[in-house]
Amino acid sequence: MSFAKDSKLQILEREIEDADCAQAFLSGLLHASGTITKNNEGIRLDIVTDFKEIFDFLNHLVCKLYGENLTLEISDDYIINKTTYYRIKFPCDISLQILKDCALIPTNGDIVFLAEIDKNIIADDETKKNFIKGAYVGCATSSIKLSTLGSQSPTTGYHLEFSSHNRVFLEGLQELLQYFDITSKIATRKKIFVLYLKDSEAIKDLLALVGAEQSVLELSDEMAKRDLRNTVNRQVNCINANINKTVEASLKQIHAINYINKKIGLESLPEDLQEVAVLRLANPQESMDELLKLSTIKLTKSGLNHRFRRILKIADLLRGN
């Protein structure tokens, strides 16, 4: 199961007791994924979703508010990109009233969809939270993938988004999130609008706000794993870089010493340079620090480096450089 669906299931674990909060949740859900159709029976409200687990929760909520049951349907027409979509149908005799109560159409009953979020629906902090919950369940998706046992690196970054054909709705949702100090951005992708969060801390705050506590813990654990992995990788890269520098320096020194030996013999070098030349030839893979430990010469690292620079310079002179 995806990270987003798992977090939605956590939201649905808690029944909404307060009627105003239930209405706010329903409004957010319908803004996010509701559709309005007109047939011979009148106006009918539907929800099209790939998250069928919401049906029982929503049916219980609507039954409590309006005393009617919903129906769930599936059709081959709703299989898109190997994803099965479901249609949750509201009874016609309560659809118009729900649309009015959720402030999706004017109170006079005109079938004109109101994209703006009604301030009366989100009058206090709790109704605001529940509206966001409804919108999250209705249209939130995420590319977050938690690391599995033995995985070397994450395949995705931190990304969570709400998608809609209505920019006005997403702008209102963005204001709501900002009210709770959660920063988001809106972009256009093909023919839809997307409100997205890429900051891991902002995503954690949103998950906590909508009541997906387990997902908050899982994301925190994932962030810790990735931070540790990145720290280890940086340290390994640093060690490898130092090893490469040591090998490169050692090869240059050995080549210079061998060239000098071939041209004029090591015995032609001053005694102090002969000592470090022999030391390097005997220990070709050791770092400067290790050479100092192996040497009987009382030298500092700076002094040892200086002697090798003199050897390199002599080899360059012999080459005619």
Per domain, the residue ranges of the chain are: 3-211, 239-319
Residue 284 above 60 pLDDT? yes
CA distance 33 to 262: 82
Quickly state the pLDDT bin for 150 (edges 50, 70, 90): very low
pTM above 0.75, yes or no: no
* pLDDT tens readout for residues 201-244: 999 999 999 999 999 999 888 888 888 887 888 888 888 888 88
Report H helices in the chain: 3-12, 19-33, 54-66, 92-101, 125-139, 167-179, 200-210, 213-263, 271-282, 288-294, 301-319
CA distance 302 to 280: 16
What CATH architecture applies to the domain 3-211? Answer: Roll (3.10)
CA distance 51 to 10: 13
Phi and psi dihedrals of 62, rounded to 5? -70, -40
Residues contacting 6, CB < 8 A, separation 6+: 214, 215
Provide the mean pLDDT of the chain. 87
Interval 277-306 mean pLDDT: 84
CA distance 157 to 320: 55
Q: Where is pLDDT greater, at 191 or 177?
A: 177
Residue 78 above 60 pLDDT? no
First to last CA, the chain: 67
63: its two tokens: 């039954």
8 Å CB contact between 268 and 302: no
Q: What is the crossing angle of helices 301-319 and 271-282, to 10°?
A: 100
For residue 267, what pLDDT is reported? 86
Please report, rounded to a whole number, the percentage of residues in the chain having pLDDT higher than 90: 44
Q: Where is pLDDT greater, at 78 or 174?
A: 174
Q: What is the crossing angle of helices 125-139 and 19-33, to 10°?
A: 30
For residue 81, what pLDDT is reported? 60
Interval 294-321 mean pLDDT: 85
Residue 40 above 60 pLDDT? yes
Q: What is the crossing angle of helices 3-12 and 54-66, to 10°?
A: 30
Q: Are strands 140-142 and 160-164 parallel, antiparallel or unpaired?
A: antiparallel
* pLDDT tens readout for residues 253-269: 899 899 888 888 888 88
Look-up of token digits 């920019």: 167
Please report, rounded to a whole number, the percentage of residues in the chain having pLDDT higher than 70: 93
147: its two tokens: 């690391």
54: its two tokens: 């919401």
CA distance 93 to 315: 97
Q: Where is pLDDT greater, at 242 or 317?
A: 317
Residues contacting 179, CB < 8 A, separation 6+: 128
CA distance 212 to 38: 36
